[in-house]
Structure 1
Amino acid sequence: MLRLLVLWLVLLLPTRPAAPPRLLRALTSPVLLRGNDKTAYRDPAVLYEKGTFYLYYTLVETEADGGVYSYVAFSTSCDLAHWTPPEKITVRDQSLDFSSPGNIIRVKNEWVLCLQTYPRPHYTADQMPRFGTGDARIFLMRSPDLRHWSAPELLRVKGPGVDEKSLGRMIDPYLLPDPKQPGQYSVFYKQNGVSRSTSTDLVNWTFAGSAESGENVCVLSEPDGYYLFNSPHNGINIKKSTDLQHWADWGPLITLGQGQPGWEWAKGRLTAGTVLDLRRVPGIRRYLLFFHGSGPLTEEQGDFDKNASIGLAWSTDLRAWHWPGE
């Protein structure tokens, strides 16, 4: 009887999450890159390659005369705690303002990165926030080494017969090489919810339809289906599908529980999540969630192109999330 009572009490006690592996346990803050009143780090895209994290992101800088410019830049790290200074890979041009890298994939002997333009001509700090024009489009860049990148190539995601002007405003691309259909690629992008086009060569695309979704999508292919991470007004939502066409909400909205309300750097919004499956990597053994937080003001109040920082959390099951210093 005593043993049964002890077992019953043990079952009633809340279970603690397993201690994070060495690399994650060494981190003291969820903030990887911290913004300020002149700088924003947004829209992370991450690749783990041969022991190095390559973190690409939107870098927004307010210059001394008040001009506001966006770039795609990258930093690298071997331990998630120490990051190299930003290296810009796109031009300084407000009529383009390349930004929002989606992800990086390996295609034959090169790396391929997707990104967008976000034109804001004559944009100055006193106009914050101002959002991109209807000329925003999505592009690819190519690299032999993850550091030196080709000029951006427009993605004609509605077919070769549709000219650039007729494509309509589209942002936040994400590339998925489909392991269930070798040689088939999908690109997801924000237009009418989330839209998708398919290709076998990354040049010729066929439109495949749209579904309800937030922005900044990231898609994981798992044995039981596809998981699509997307951002509503605040937090990160997950949807699940078996065919990449029909999506249903799955799991709780990710706002990192007691984290966000206590973080000045993310009080305004927590968004733009991208997930890496590193459960087989020694020292990590988790899904890693990279996201950006803005605050203390909301984006509408002005903390869009400033005071935005990139953060980190992790999970073993995509449902319960933890972070450094929790």
Structure 2
Amino acid sequence: MKYISVIFLLMMLASCQVNKDKVNLSKLESPIIFKGDDNTAYRDPAILYQDEQFYLYFTLSRVENDSVFQYTAQSRSRDLVNWTPYEIITPRDQKFDFCSPGNVIKYNDEWIMCLQTYPRPNYTVDQMPRFGNNEARLYTMTSKNLETWSQPELLRVKGNDVSIEKMGRMIDAYFIEDNNEPGKWWCFYKQNGVSMSYSYNLRDWTFFGYTESGENVCVLTENDEYILLHSLKNGMEIKKSKDLVHWEDFGPLITLGQQNWEWAKGRISAGAILDLRKVDGINKYLMFFHGSGPLTEEEGDFDKNSSLGIAWSDDLTNWEWPGK
């Protein structure tokens, strides 16, 4: 009997641990996941849900000895409440400033992340805010375990015959598999609105075209449609298309709780959506985003005072968040 009681106790403790790690949106006390300050900005989230764990990748802007650097960083969570301390996964180099991860996909036996450079050589705090120059390009990194990443490699979305000098300024990449042709991949990126290129191996790309759009696109496929979330000067909007050529606006401007959030008064932007409606215990679309403020980005809250937040929805139109 004594041994049975011990075993029962151990089982109860294990059960408590499992329950502790389960997602319960009602336990989130604040929409803020990582909060920026006068020396730090958290921006441009990318999110992956794998093996009941959330992998969050984002831009980290940081003041270091009066210079400003951007990195791509990562953090993990099982319950959306407790996040691991962030880890920087890209080099420290203002000539590149690798940042703005778009998303992470599984291809063959490895994970592939798309991201960009945001070059600002010799950038110091007295120049804030200063935006990336015309040398910004797209890159990829690969991983076997979603924690250790390769060195960035140039993503030639205009084709292998187009030199890096002639590719033009491009930012905010996002990968999505074709809705009707498995094995065909699309890369969306900010250039002339949003540009689109396709590939069958993620290395050799063919330019397809572009459509009017803001930045930081996130693309879902659902019911034979492409759903594109993009960011405007303030707030986010959704477009839908069946053929990537003809697009229709869907739903209202998304600004969440901005009118009540001093930390996001300047701008709500860079939404990244996960469709977890079929995941028991969540059953929602989750959106990660960044909010900057109280100043606008042009007024200075770009590389500082920018925070990552979370919201959720049943229909991509009506949104909720902690405390609403």
TM-score above 0.5: yes
CA distance in 1, matches of 2:101, 2:216: 9
Q: 2:260 aligns with which of 259, 262, 283?
A: 262
Q: Distance in 2 between matches of 1:34 and 1:285?
A: 26
Equivalent residue runs for 1:114-263 within 5 Å: 114-256=114-256, 259-263=257-261
CA distance in 2, matches of 1:41, 1:237: 21
Partners of 1:178 and 1:209 in 2: how far apart? 15
> How far is 1:141 from its partner?
0.6
**Alignment map for 1:1-326 (pairs within 5 Å):** 23-63=24-64, 65-256=65-256, 259-326=257-324
Distance 1:104 1:23 in 2: 24
**2:193 corresponds to which letter in structure 1?**
G
Q: Deviations over 1:159-215 (max 9, x none)?
A: 111010000000000001124210000000000000000000001000000100000
Identical columns (%): 60
Q: CA deviation at 1:53?
A: 0.5
Cα separation, partners in 2 of 1:78 and 1:182, compared to 1, 3 Å:
same
Deviation at 1:22, TM superposition (A): 6.0
Aligned residues: 303
Distance 1:123 1:307 in 2: 18
Counterpart amino acid of residue 274 in structure 2: L
How many angstroms apart in 2 are the aligned matches of 1:76 and 1:186? 27
Question: What secondary structure is seen at the aligned counterpart in 2 of 1:324?
Answer: coil
Residue type of the alignment partner of 1:271:
S
Q: Deviations over 1:270-302 (max 9, x none)?
A: 000010000111221100011000001100000
| Partner amino acid, structure 2, of 1:32 | I
Show structure 2 runs of 5+ residues with no match.
Answer: 1-21
* CA pair 133-106 structure 1, distance change in 2 beyond 3 A: same
In structure 2, what is the Cα distance between the partners aligned to 1:246 and 1:205? Answer: 22
2: CA distance, partners of 1:32 / 1:178: 32
Q: CA–CA distance in 2 between the matches of 1:163 and 1:42?
A: 30
**Could you tell me how far apart the structure 2 residues matched to 1:178 and 1:80 are?**
30
Say whether the 8 Å CA contact 2:273–2:288 is kept in structure 1. Answer: yes
Residues 302 and 108 from structure 1, CA distance in 2 versus in 1: closer, same or farther, beyond 3 angstroms?
A: same
- CA separation in 2, counterparts of 1:39 and 1:28? 22
Q: Distance in 2 between matches of 1:302 and 1:38?
A: 12
Q: Distance in 2 between matches of 1:303 and 1:78?
A: 30
Q: Give the superposition deviation at 1:322.
A: 0.5
Structure 1: gaps of 5 or more residues: 1-20
Measure how far apart 1:224 and its partner are.
4.2
Q: Which residue of 2 aligns with 1:6?
A: none
Residues 114-135 of structure 1: CA distance to partner in whole angstroms, max 9, x if unpaired? 0000000000111111000100
- Distance in 2 separating the partners of 1:22 and 1:119: 38
State the TM-score, normalized to the length of structure 1.
0.92
The CA deviation at 1:245 is: 2.1
The 3-state SS of whatever aligns with 2:46 is strand
> 3-state SS of the aligned residue for 2:299?
coil
SS in 2 for 1:25: helix
Deviates more, 1:173-182 or 1:190-199: 173-182
Aligned-pair RMSD on alpha carbons?
A: 1.0
